[in-house]
Structure 1
Amino acid sequence: MALDMDIHELLVIGDSDLLIHQVQGEWATKNAKVLPYVTLAQSLCKKFKKIEFNHMPRAQNKFADALATTKSMIQHPERSHIDPLEISLRAEHSYYSHVEAEPDVKPWYNDIKLYLENGEYLDNTTRNQRKTILRMANGFS
């Protein structure tokens, strides 16, 4: 992904000190199952102008810990195959893409203003919405 984004300098933070040292060529790779991954990582490293590796224990890396926890909760029918995890980066916040209804021309604070001015709610306001409006209105009075 970093190569696709035309990134030339990269900081890699990993929770496996062993793997970091193997990719950097400091330690030998004895496990035959890991060797293709180490070789691939080493070839990818050559495509960057600068690449730095830092070890961070999983206990200090909440994202890696969350991925490991999620992995342990998923039962896959074939233990030898793991589906890739796809992470998409969005150009805007997710609430920009989620629209439930046509927007009205009134400002976001219209319900609070109506309550402050008249002590009234709109007709279709739910009980939870009334509680929220009341709570927010208390900050203005």
Structure 2
Amino acid sequence: MAAKLKFCCTNNLAEYEACILGLRMALAMDINELLVIGDFDLLIHQVQGERATKNDKILPYVNLAQGLCKKLKKVEFRNTPRVQNEFADALTTLTLIIQHPENSHIDPFEISLKEEHAYCSHVEVEPDGKPWYNDIKMYLEKQEYPEGVTSGKKKTLRMIANGFFLNKEVLYKRTLDLSLLRCVDAIKAT
């Protein structure tokens, strides 16, 4: 989530506003355990009660953040150096460049980290029993089209086939950097 504050405040208050917004969002989503990653060390220590708050303007923020934390089963704060906080920088950039009306609603987007390439977890079974690349391979091998295709689909097949390379029985897909990816069927992929 990204938010734009439309009132004057210090950097410290903006950090607290962001923290409280995140805590409220987590509670609204019925999250019980939360890891809060921030680059403002003072906020983390103040909310955890490890450092006293001398500023009267910040004290209500600290109390509110602590009260929200008590509503969670488990909350952990972790400090990350500002130079390593790419997600916060990206959201800040998005907030600055996107101009939106006062009453508009922006659909949320999700950022997820994957441990493997998308193609590793997505394999479709071919309904006709032939591999997904059968038409491309047949065209490259014999210059033949599937039965009953229109001239438009023939043109599309020729264009698609330009991105592939056939070496004997093995079909490869050319990438933008001209490396070759071997095309496999559903059985070999799993």
Deviation at 1:60, TM superposition (A): 0.9
Q: Distance in 1 between matches of 2:29 and 2:36?
A: 15
1:87 is aligned to 2:108: yes
Structural mapping, 1:45-124, within 5 Å: 45-74=69-98, 87-89=108-110, 108-120=132-144, 123-124=154-155
Partner residue of 1:8? 32
Deviation at 1:57, TM superposition (A): 1.9
1:132 is aligned to 2:163: yes
Structure 2 unpaired stretches of 5+? 1-24, 112-126, 146-152, 173-181, 184-190
TM-score of the two chains, using structure 2 as the length reference? 0.47
CA contact (8 A) 2:47 2:65 kept: yes
Deviation at 1:84, TM superposition (A): 8.3
CA contact (8 A) 2:140 2:161 kept: no
Percent of residue pairs identical: 54
Instruction: Let me know the Cα RMSD of the aligned residues.
Output: 3.8
More strand, by proportion: 2
Comparing both chains, which one has the higher relative contact order based on Cα–Cα distances under 8 Å and sequence gaps of 6 or more? 1
SS at match of 1:108: coil
* Deviation digits for residues 48-89 of structure 1 (CA, Å, limit 9, x no counterpart): 222110011232122112112223334678xxx8x8875345
Q: Which letter maps to 1:40?
A: L
Partner residue of 2:53? 28
SS at match of 1:52: strand
Q: Which letter maps to 1:30?
A: N
TM-score of the two chains, using structure 1 as the length reference? 0.59
SS at match of 1:129: helix
